[in-house]
Amino acid sequence: MSFQFPLAPHMAQIPSNPIFHLLPKLNEPGFISFAAGVPSPDSFPYDEIAKMAAETLAGNPKEILQYGSTEGYLPLRRAMAQHLRRYSFNAGIDELVITTGGQQAIDLLCKLFVEPGDAVLAEAPTYSAAIQVFKSYKANIVSIESDDAGILPDDLESKIARHRPKFVYLIPTFKNPSGQTLSAERRAAAAEITGRLGVMLIEDDPYRDLRYEGGHLPNIKGYDRAGNVVYITSASKYFCPGLRVGTIYAPKNLTPVLTVAKQATDMHSPTLTQAIVCAYLESGRMEAHLKMLCDMYRARLKAMLEAAAAFFPESVACAPPQGGLFLWCVCPPHVDTLALLAEAVERKVAYIPGDQFYADGSVKNAMRLNFSNEPEDSIFKGMEILSKLLRTVC
């Protein structure tokens, strides 16, 4: 007889991520995955990372293998401050906290500010892992209305007044899952409204450098006049996710309490992986790496868009993004993409159903397709297989 572990009641509110149930299938020969939002392993600079890890350990093993600073490895914070200057940020090292991936940054901010029942404003759809984090703190997730240019400023202001949220959470550039980019005017409005009303705005921005057409827009943080915008980024999407290195850029008065919150979580992120990211940034190779990534993913996105146009039913609408990792496809209202997933997996193709990106799971007829993890020939093959399934229900 096995012991029964009584879980805390709030665990029942935290949705399970379907990708983890798919992982055993994804490794089967011939399986084509449009599911996980992952960079291509073909992009990882294996030899350079191995060399940098060896050199880092040989040069200063006692520091690298010992407990480190909770705020982050000091050379990395300096290198990251320099890297953020490409975004027109003038971040000081005392405004940066290194985290174990971008998701930990969201968790730390919730730990600091969210009590059960507190409101959090977010786009709909939004990042499924952020929904998991918000629900783990028993937050009341309130959706902000949007159109093709992103969130509606009037609705944002109205809902701040009505719900008095602890923060507003936005992914303004190539949003996960829809690939949508918030317009410059709406970015400025979001900063002005939240600053004027005294509400923190979390700008989650891991995809900014993955732009395949058009010009870069100013970050919301660039419009921040009140000091209320907290900026999150991560090396996971443009470098190597297994290194688990994220960054919070926050006002100086917030970084000490972020440090305390992180101490209660994991003391500090692994120094070795921080040092590897630092070495790569300092080497000057990141610009060439980002160009290679954008060239690779631009071709893969083009293949997916061409395949969607060629194979998908006309009733399935796919909105072309200018960058990022995802294509968001909306089926007719009667289609349930979660119900279709098991059949898709049997046909050796996977995607993420749209309901995972809504706090209430209300939208059943959308799907998120990742294009970065498969080469063009596999993308065409997988889209053709998926189209045959869609044609049975659309």
Place of tokens 């200063």: 60
Please report the domains of the chain, with CATH numbers, ordered by start residue.
10-45+288-390 (3.90.1150.10), 46-283 (3.40.640.10)
Q: What are phi and psi of 322, to 5 degrees?
A: -90, -5
pLDDT along the chain (394 residues), means of 10: 71 65 71 91 94 92 94 97 93 96 96 97 96 96 94 98 98 97 97 98 97 96 96 94 95 94 94 96 95 98 98 96 98 95 93 94 95 96 97 92
pTM: 0.94
The pLDDT value given to residue 379: 98
CB atoms within 10 A of CB 323: 22
Per-residue b/e over 146-169, b at no fewer than 16 CB within 10 Å?
A: beeebbbbeebbebbeeeebbbbb
Indicate the DSSP class of residue 359.
Answer: T
The pLDDT value given to residue 18: 60
- Give CA–CA dist 292/278, Å, rounded: 20
Report which residue type is found at 135: K
